[in-house]
Structure 1
Amino acid sequence: MVTKNLSRLLWRRYRQRFWALLGISVLAGIAVALLDAETWVRHSPVLFADQINHWVVYQTSKFGSVSVYSYWLVFVAWLSGMLLMMQDLKENFNQFLFASGYKRQRIYWTKLGMALAGLLVIDVVTAVVQYLTYWIKLPQGTSFNLALPGFLTTWVSGLILALVMFAIGWFAALIVGQSGPLVITVCGFTLSLVGMVTFFEGVTLHMTTITVEWLAVGSWLLAAVILLVWGSFLFNRLSLEHNGEYLMFPRLRVPLYLVFVGYMTFIFSVNANDLQPALITFIISAIFGYGWLWRPQLIEKWHQRRGD
């Protein structure tokens, strides 16, 4: 009964956001399908390549692009994770739930379950509309070769990638208490992460393509689970005392600082042939990270003046 009442309360709060996300996602799915249709070879008898018959992530073919699982859905998951957690903190909805007597762990997992279920519904509805658009735009004499191996593999890979992007935004919004720095932090980290993935894809490994793909999927899934479980641990210790500060959890300053300096140094020196770029990047990152995490920011001073 307690879980049911909490679910109803959360649904009343989130339903308008889910409906808005669904509407935007469906429109974007139609746009993606129309753009893909412009790349199709009109005289091709079969739209999909033979790759769709294998247990690998479907990319594209010489006959034209088909988004089996659109990257737009990954973006929706990334954005949703950040917005849902951020708005609950900014609008003191979590404080209301805490005061209502619900256990924090129940709140966290119920909220997370509803968010993931809502995103799954958005994915399915958007994909159905997108596939219908493909079918309507299908040229005369062309047929689909939508085999299950490539379809299922692509969807599993896409859902796990969307999950880890959701987890990044969700976790960051839990620990960062300022909207502007949160957006900058998440965007910067996500873009750098995409660059790192591209770099590692270019590294020659003594593995088959299928092995590399499944290794990447497993790594994404592990990262998502770690962030979501860690988020549960932090949510149970969430204090409104640090609301409005960059970090909601002061004890994370040191590990976050070390990760930031090490990560930035690695990014800007991974392709370097000498130690000078790494040393320069390390010094700049160390100074910037120290000022960002330990010194009062202008926005914090502004909040303090408004409070006075």
Structure 2
Amino acid sequence: MTKNLSRLLWRRYRQWFWALLGISVLAGIAIALMDTESWSHHSSVLFSDQIDQWLVYQNSKYGSVSLFSYWFVFIAWLSGLLLMMQDLKGNFNQFLFASGYPRQRIYWTKLGMALTGLLAIDVVTALVQYLIYWLKLPHGMSFNLALPGFLTTWLSGLVLALVMFAICWFAALIVGQSGALVITVCGFTLSLVGLNTFFQGETILMATRDVEWLAMGLWLLAAVVLLVWGSFLFSRLSLEHDGEYLMFPRLRIPLYLVFVAYITFIFSINSGEWQPTVISFTVAAIFGYLWLWRPQLIEKWRQRRGN
């Protein structure tokens, strides 16, 4: 039964995976060519900074080398969004539910295929990039490719890609409107990038290595929680709420509380006064209420603006 389900899912997703692989390889080639243009001829060794430590590798002063490109994170983000959203919108889940396969088996088989496909895309694209690095290596220049920095960089990148995938995968499961889903996920992702930039600029009384490993652990925990929680919700998915903002009405109150707290935190984190906190809380509370409980009011407002 599992083998038949895997074949069915592969026939569904194979065009997506081949398309993502082709786009990813082309992007990897472009990234590698841009990296090689930045290489300096003043040093005979490219990997001379930090690569021999258990730290996420930072580009050396002699040029950039993408050991794990942030493009892989974007591919994971996009895949999590599209794979779950297309199945909900294309009635494929309804077909699977009527086929007699247990929902938990459907969920974990689909998830396993998605993650395996993404890992294969990352590895193939990285090999193409590394091949270009080797072919474009100037005469007299060499690599000092040590495993500590290489493994840490890849582990950190894979964890970040996994959590981005999990965020989009979970959001596409609980949000039933495509436009609202894209806006929600894009806004939340951009806010996470802003928070990460902010905290990187703060002075933390911990060693750089400890901070990086702590961050990886927290990201991994968040991804596991979202994916496991997604399996719980998938087994209780009711298609009668398709087209509504929330596919699970019971999540309305928890989502509202998280939204208000998160927005208030974002807009008041860098302020030492109470006014921004109060204003952020008030705006988030009102907007969240209208968005979750009174969406028809926002829709009427949009129609008036359109007229």
| TM-score over 0.5 (shorter chain) | yes
**AA paired with 2:153?**
T
**AA paired with 1:154?**
T
Give the equivalent residue in structure 1 for 2:266: 267
In 2, distance between residues paired with 1:19 and 1:300?
38
TM-score, L = length of structure 2: 0.96
**AA paired with 2:163?**
V
What pairs up with 1:279-294 in 2 under 5 angstroms? Answer: 279-294=278-293
**AA paired with 2:227?**
L
Give the equivalent residue in structure 2 for 1:278: 277
CA contact (8 A) 2:291 2:298 kept: no
Aligned-residue offset at 1:295: 1.1
Give the equivalent residue in structure 1 for 2:125: 126
Among the aligned pairs, what percent are the same residue? 79
Give the equivalent residue in structure 2 for 1:167: 166
In 2, distance between residues paired with 1:57 and 1:280?
38
| 1:117-152 Cα shifts (integer Å, max 9, x gaps) | 000000000000011111111111111111111111
In 1, distance between residues paired with 2:134 and 2:187?
38
Residue segments in structure 2 that go unaligned for 5+ positions in a row = 301-307
SS in 1 for 2:221: helix
In 2, distance between residues paired with 1:138 and 1:292?
54
In 2, distance between residues paired with 1:296 and 1:38?
51
Query: Would you identify which runs of 4 or more consecutive aligned residues in structure 1 move more than 6 Å?
Result: 298-301
Give the equivalent residue in structure 2 for 1:217: 216
Give the equivalent residue in structure 2 for 1:39: 38
**AA paired with 1:96?**
F
Give the equivalent residue in structure 1 for 2:303: none
**AA paired with 1:290?**
Y
Higher mean C-alpha deviation, range 119-128 or range 44-53:
44-53
TM-score, L = length of structure 1: 0.95
Aligned-residue offset at 1:300: 7.4
| 1:140-167 Cα shifts (integer Å, max 9, x gaps) | 1111111111111100110011000000
User: What number of residue pairs does the alignment pair up?
Assistant: 300
In 2, distance between residues paired with 1:75 and 1:291?
31
Give the equivalent residue in structure 2 for 1:76: 75
Residue segments in structure 1 that go unaligned for 5+ positions in a row = 302-308
Give the equivalent residue in structure 2 for 1:248: 247
Aligned-residue offset at 1:43: 3.1
Give the equivalent residue in structure 2 for 1:114: 113
SS in 2 for 1:54: coil
| 1:222-260 Cα shifts (integer Å, max 9, x gaps) | 000000000000001000010001110011110100100
Give the equivalent residue in structure 1 for 2:22: 23
